Amino acid sequence: MGKIKYYISGKITGLQPSEYAARFGKAEEHLTAQGFDVVNPLRHVVPSAHWKEQMKVDIRLLLDCNAIYMLSNWEQSIGATIEHDIAEGLGLIVEYERTPKHRDIKAAIITAMGVNFKTIAEDSRNRWHVYARMIYAHHCKKRGEYTHRIAEETNHDKSTISYYLRNYDTEYKYNREFRAAAEKVATLLSEKLSTPTDITI
């Protein structure tokens, strides 16, 4: 294969420049110190380019690499999710700053409700999105996940996740729409829709 060349991927939109620059810079230093060639897309930003045009530039950079390094917040980014899918589809080496958790739950929610994890991690008050967030928190908790860990992963505060967990049973009992969605997700999980290692989010 020759020398491994990593492309760094993670969330940019919605963050302060100082925050995403620090995250990408730290990853670049980490990978470079291990002797890898590294492509930091922040070094190839096209001034005034729209998101779609910048994505084309970034994808071309990715295609010139044989590995991708996913920052811990990648699931909260449409662009990074696209890059992750391309890398997996092409059989590139995929390394994570933090190993994604509960990918089967995320896949079941996408399939049953059409809500991706990026939306779950946003502050959307859309009823359907709130349902998805509540169902995700419920299934994570069932697996023994700590409430504060669920809060960290979904980018919400602990009190919000605690509220979802407390109210899940009530919504399930009295809210027909919520119950139908929850049952679809539970059915997909019980049928082992996918495993954490073979799905694409």
As a CATH number, domain 5-96 is 3.40.50.450
- Please state the domain extents for the chain: 5-96, 103-190
Give me the count of residues in the chain.
201
Residue bearing tokens 């994505």: 55
d(CA 16, CA 12): 8
pLDDT at res. 199: 43
Distance in angstroms (rounded) separating the CA atoms of residues 184 and 124: 22
Find out whether 118 and 78 touch, Cβ atoms under 8 Å.
yes
Q: Is residue 93 exposed (0-12), middle (13-18) or buried (19+ Cβ within 10 Å)?
A: middle
Tens place of pLDDT for every residue, the chain, 201 residues? 568 999 999 999 889 999 999 999 999 999 999 999 999 999 999 888 899 999 999 999 999 999 999 999 998 899 999 999 999 999 999 999 988 889 899 999 999 999 999 899 988 999 999 999 999 999 999 999 999 999 988 989 999 999 999 999 999 999 999 999 999 999 999 976 444 444 444
CATH for the stretch 103-190: 1.10.1750.10
**Amino acid in position 201:** I
Residue 137: what are its φ and ψ, rounded to 5°? -60, -40
Tokens of 148: 């504060």
User: Are 36 and 6 a contacting pair, CB within 8 Å?
Assistant: yes
Full strand arrangement of the beta sheet holding 67-70? 37-39, 5-9, 67-70, 93-96
Rounded to the nearest 5 degrees, what angle is found at the Cα of 29, between the Cα atoms of 73 and 43?
75
- Tell me the backbone φ, ψ of residue 95, rounded to 5 degrees: -120, 145
